[in-house]
Amino acid sequence: MAHGLTALGDFSCRATAIDLGSAMMRMYVEGRGIVASEPSAIARADDTGRMLATGTSALALAHRECGVRLIHPIRNGVPAETGETEDLLRYLLRTHHRRRYMSKPRMAVTVPSVINQVQLGAVRTAAFAAGARQLTLIPTPIAAAAGAGLPSHGEDVAIVADIGAHVTDVGVVLSGELLTGHIALVGGSTMDEAIAAYVRREYGLIIAPLAAETVKLAVGTATVPREDRRTLVHGKDRDTDLPRTVEVSSADIHAAISTSLDAIVRAVRTAVAAAPPEMAGHFFSSGITLTGGGARLAGLDELIRTGTGLRARVAENAAEATVRGAASLLRPIKGFESNRLPPLGHRRRALARH
Q: State the CATH number of the domain containing residue 217.
A: 3.90.640.10
Same domain, 171 and 71: no
The CA distance from 71 to 102, in Å, is: 26
pLDDT attached to residue 96? 80
Residue 325 lies in a domain: no
Tell me the H-state helices in 168-299. Answer: 188-203, 209-219, 250-273, 280-286
Residue 193 lies in a domain: yes
CA distances in angstroms from 56 to 25, 46, 149, 213, listed in the order given:
11, 19, 30, 17
Q: Among candidates 123, 118, 146, 147, which has minimal Cα distance to 135?
A: 123
Distance, in Å, from the CA atom of 48 to the CA atom of 87, rounded to the nearest integer, reads 16
Query: What CATH number corresponds to the domain at position 28?
Result: 3.30.420.40
Residues in the chain where the model's pLDDT stays below 70: 1-13, 98-103, 152-155, 331-354
pLDDT at 103: 62
Give the residue from 135, 141, 184, 138 showing the smallest Cα distance to 162: 141
- The answer to whether residue 6 sits within a structural domain is no
Residue 219 falls within a domain, yes or no? yes
The answer to whether position 330 is within a domain reads no
**If 0-12 CB within 10 Å is exposed, 13-18 middle and 19+ buried, where does residue 307 land?**
middle
Count of structural domains, the chain: 3
Predicted confidence at residue 282, as pLDDT, reads 86
Residue 127, helix vs strand vs coil: helix
Q: What is the pLDDT of residue 331?
A: 60
pLDDT of residue 295: 95
Give yes or no: residues 88 and 162 share one domain.
Answer: no
Cα–Cα dist 106/339, whole Å: 14
Under 8 Å CB-to-CB from 48, ≥6 apart: which residues?
none
User: Domain for residue 333, yes or no?
Assistant: no
- Residue 196's domain comprises 189-257
- Do 134 and 122 fall within a single domain? yes
Same domain, 96 and 135: yes
Q: Are residue 28 and residue 101 in the same domain, yes or no? A: yes
Q: Compute the distance between CA of residue 270 and CA of residue 6 in angstroms, rounded to an integer.
A: 32
Question: Cα 270 to the chain's mean position, in Å?
Answer: 19
- The alpha carbon of 157 is separated from its chain's Cα centroid by a whole number of angstroms, namely 21
Same domain, yes or no: 20 and 91 = yes
> In terms of C-beta density within 10 A (0-12 exposed, 13-18 middle, 19 or more buried), how is residue 129 classed?
middle
Instruction: Give the CA-trace dihedral at 138, 144, 146, 147, to 10 degrees.
Output: 120
Find out whether 170 and 183 touch, Cβ atoms under 8 Å: yes
Reduced to 3 states, what is the DSSP secondary structure of residue 139?
A: strand
Contact 344, 3 (CB under 8 A): yes
122 shares a domain with 40: yes
Q: What is the CA radius of gyration of the chain?
A: 21
User: Domain for residue 66, yes or no?
Assistant: yes
Q: Is the dihedral of CA 16, 19, 20, 24 positive or negative?
A: negative
Among candidate residues 121, 252, 113, the one with its CA nearest the CA of residue 191: 252
Residues 122 and 266 in one domain: no
Task: Please choose, from the candidates 278, 317, 286, 287, the residue with its C-alpha nearest in 3D space to the C-alpha of residue 305.
Answer: 287
What residues pair up with 37 in beta bridges, in sequence order?
26
List C-alpha distances in Å: 250 to 80, 229, 247, 298.
Answer: 35, 5, 10, 11
Provide the pLDDT for residue 13: 67
Angle at 329 between CA 75 and CA 98, to 5 degrees: 70
**Count of residues for the chain?**
354
